[in-house]
Structure 1
């Protein structure tokens, strides 16, 4: 298990930002582009704030995608794209044609999923992910159809939330060169312990060989 534990959410985010910069430099040198899928959530938000202050990211080589999106437009406060835009993308010199958002406002969502799958690169370098208190990741929620979906992107109805989502499938997540899970807070500690021990089949357990960036609060039950 590739587990990296840091003292606080801020330190976790900073470490992930530094790893992002390093991966971007390596990909740019090796392949001429860095294809990364971003995520929503509080820890990625902190990471975005760290990234925009860094001077060693080759932004001209960065191509941005998203691992999931709510069924809203880009200006909606719930939009993962809006979070990334407000906290990172508008602050850094990424060429606009290299930013690819999911069309959460498009109906039916199945058309949005197909359209997004068609514009993805052959292989992503890094997929950033979080983990919910219920063990979901991206918008792969417990008991939902997308857990067994094929292809690269799925439209997923989430009954508990009474809404649809767009999400990468496991196939797409696990095809990336690297998968990073950013998890902070004591509220995630029990789920993290169960997932790492293989005790419960949470959706996040379907992510193969991830790098875990976690804070001490989230890791608090791992030594028990």
Structure 2
């Protein structure tokens, strides 16, 4: 194992040995030049550190609203959370916007990431800077890891549109099962009925 401080000696280039998923738990609070909270919002995508830009109010509103709505309907064995990492592999540790995970895992306040077998649903709220990651890279990786359900939330003139995908076990890829405007009603991963225009704020 190589020390993270040694890796930062190569900053802003990645170290020759590359970043790993476990490195995210060892990153310092400050940046290489003393910047506060420099690594606060970072994820690892195919071995590259990706810094998440400041988000618009729509993004924050969707995260909060979906979390509250999902938890209001979720059975006791699962819980909805926001912005927590999923360790998909040695060099893959994305931070989905919304997750539905095992309640037992959610109760552990010391956790910094979850594993795919603990995750029932991931949802990404698309921002202009994350379009390619949220529409292409992340769904492919989530499906590859076996996460059964994926939602992509897009901003359509200020209102949410939710694209719902389910993993096809025969192909290992996601298939689109519905595009939801105004109301989201699905039977899996548990019965869900959400008025998208009246999400909690």
TM over 0.5: no
Higher-helix-fraction structure: 1
- TM-score of the superposed pair, with normalisation by structure 1: 0.29
- TM-score of the superposed pair, with normalisation by structure 2: 0.31
Higher-strand-fraction structure: 2
Higher relative contact order (CA 8 A, sep 6+): 1
